Structure 1
Amino acid sequence: MRHTLPIAPQFYVTAPQTCPYLDGRRERKLFTALQGEHANTLNNTLSKQGFRRSQNVLYRPSCADCSACLSARIRVADFQPSKSQRRVMKRNAVLEREATSPWATEEQYHLFRRYLDSRHADGGMADMDIFEFAAMIEETPVKSRVIEYWDRTLPEGPELIATCLTDVLDDGLSMVYSFYDPLRTRESLGTYIILDHVRIAQEAGLPYVYLGYWVPQSSKMGYKASFNPLEIFRGGTWQDLGDVEDYSADTHPLSVDPIAEQVARISLPDSRPTDPKRVTDIPSKTTP
């Protein structure tokens, strides 16, 4: 009889550092390496428990005195765009999607630099050079795609307008990182990228689009609450977001569980591979 053995990764905790979302807070992350033949299985399993991928690492906030960061995902089957979101889709109807393998290009990097310099000049990625950018895009041990959005109607020729690095999970799409032309403010490109990922997931029959972390009282992350129905991972389960006014970023230190208890509650997969029927690809599309 052939037995399957559980995948048993080692978990670590980062040193505290300044929180990028809430003033006066310190952040700390719980993380594990993502590598080897079971990388896809581990990514699928831990993504369902609030983890996110960054290159070959899976991480989840594990702050000592705060639990404000909540993993968020859109429930695709029930999603209905709002009037403003439908207007965003219409304004960007000229854009063409191209889904490619995770390979960095100079066009992507130039767009990335313009985006950072305009929106996140003082952020942790502000000094990223082209080699570090290439590592962010290309160093992925799981099924990932780079989704580009091009405007081919310009007199000066085609222009790359937006890009998103996306992981293809067995139950959805995980938007790892996106960036776009900061001068096209009217088009609401960040919103459009999310809406198009919902459309891709709907066409592929995938139930979720993972957005990363929603942080109450953070202006940087507040926009995610407008994609209803939104689910958040809280208390070890996924639940509807509900009324955003019911959430507070103020968490008493004694309400945060110790690291050992957090790790003990993580469900790990066995070594059976992901069902290939649940893994899809991202199609390119022509202008609708």
Structure 2
Amino acid sequence: MRHSLPIAPQFYVTAPQPCPYLAGRMERKLFTSLQGEDAQALNDSLSQQGFRRSQNVLYRPSCSECSLCLSARIDVERFTPSRSQKRLFKRNRHLARRATSPWATEEQYDLFCSYLKERHADGGMADMDVFEFAAMIEETPIRSRVVEYIDRQDNTLTAVSLTDVLEDGLSMVYSFYQPDLPQQSLGTYMILDHVDIAREAGLKYVYLGYWVPGSPKMGYKSRFSGLEIFYRGRWTVLNDPDAFEADLHPLSVDPISEQVANISLPDLRRGKP
């Protein structure tokens, strides 16, 4: 007997666990699997609704008493680099960009380990071995690229971004870089370069993951002009990050059933929205 996967994706909720961004809070995620011939259409649609990809899973924060994690993206047409960002771009002109298929290398893994040891030693990825790293890079059912930045002077790998190509933009899934070059602000530089890549490709947005007001780890994202956040079910221009007030009352968070009911899905039978 032949069995086929259900057309409609099934959504699940993770068990609460300590929030990695805000002390004293608990996080919970709404997620669904990403597989089959319609994976690209599903990823495009849910990314536009605040979801993020991790290997073959799409997820979105769904905490019971907090809604501070907000998906963020840069509107490429509205983006104008600041003076400091222009100087930063010139400071890194010795780096050469190289975009490749999603294939993990030992050089990438060594850089990844150095980055985690210095920046996220107590994080959930700190103990990731080379096989798990390879899975993070290579297990993608959609159109993905590894964007490497090579130092022209000594040909060393300096920074890496695992990037998904969406119908309306680029999604920076995960980035890492040499941690001992703070003056180069490599994380910011890669975002600036992805804005250029998106502009060259005629794409509207660069998706940055989540902006978390009050989190030092995520504060840098609010420094980009043209930033939008997915707030209360729609994309909203973030004009003044310091003046933003998120909903923290438990009753401001919709029940899971309502959240799922309000998700717009593409027509997966044809792969079109």
Question: TM above 0.5, one fold?
Answer: yes
Q: Quote how far apart the aligned CAs of 1:244 are.
A: 1.3
Name the structure 1 match of 2:87.
Answer: 87
Whether the 8 Å CA contact 1:68–1:248 is kept in 2: the answer is no
Superposed counterparts of 1:167-246, under 5 Å: 167-246=164-243
For 1:147-186, list aligned pairs within 5 A.
147-154=147-154, 158-186=155-183
Given residue 170 of structure 2, which amino acid in structure 1 is its aligned partner? L
3-state SS of the aligned residue for 1:74?
strand
**1:39 partnered with 2:39:** yes
After the TM superposition, which residues 121-136 of structure 1 pair with which residues of structure 2 at under 5 Å, given as runs?
Answer: 121-136=121-136
What code does the residue aligned with 2:148 have?
E
| Post-superposition offset of 1:78 | 1.4
**Equivalent runs, 1:227-266 vs 2, <5 Å:** 227-248=224-245, 251-266=248-263
2: CA distance between counterparts of 1:76 and 1:7?
34
Aligned residues with identical type, % of pairs: 71
Determine helix, strand or coil for the equivalent of 1:260. Answer: helix
Q: CA deviation at 1:212?
A: 0.3
Aligned partner letter, 1:165: L
Letter in 2 for 1:78: R
Q: Deviations over 1:109-159 (max 9, x none)?
A: 0000000000000011000010000000000000000000001212xxx10
SS at match of 1:134: helix
Paired position in structure 2 for 1:279: none
Q: Deviations over 1:161-191 (max 9, x none)?
A: 0000000000000000000000111111000
Report the residue type matching 2:123 in the other structure: G
Unaligned runs of 5+ in 1: 1-5, 276-288
| CA distance, structure 1, for counterparts of residue 272 and residue 152 of structure 2 | 38
Q: How many residues align?
A: 267
How far off is 1:246 after superposition?
A: 2.5
Contact 2:266 2:272 in 1 (8 A): no
The alignment's C-alpha RMSD in Å is 1.3
What is the Cα deviation at residue 245 of structure 1?
2.3
Query: Structure 1-normalised TM-score?
Result: 0.91
Q: CA–CA distance in 2 between the matches of 1:190 and 1:168?
A: 19
1:274, CA displacement in angstroms?
Answer: 5.5
Task: Determine the structure 2 residue equivalent to 1:68.
Answer: 68
Indicate the residue corresponding to 1:54 in structure 2: 54
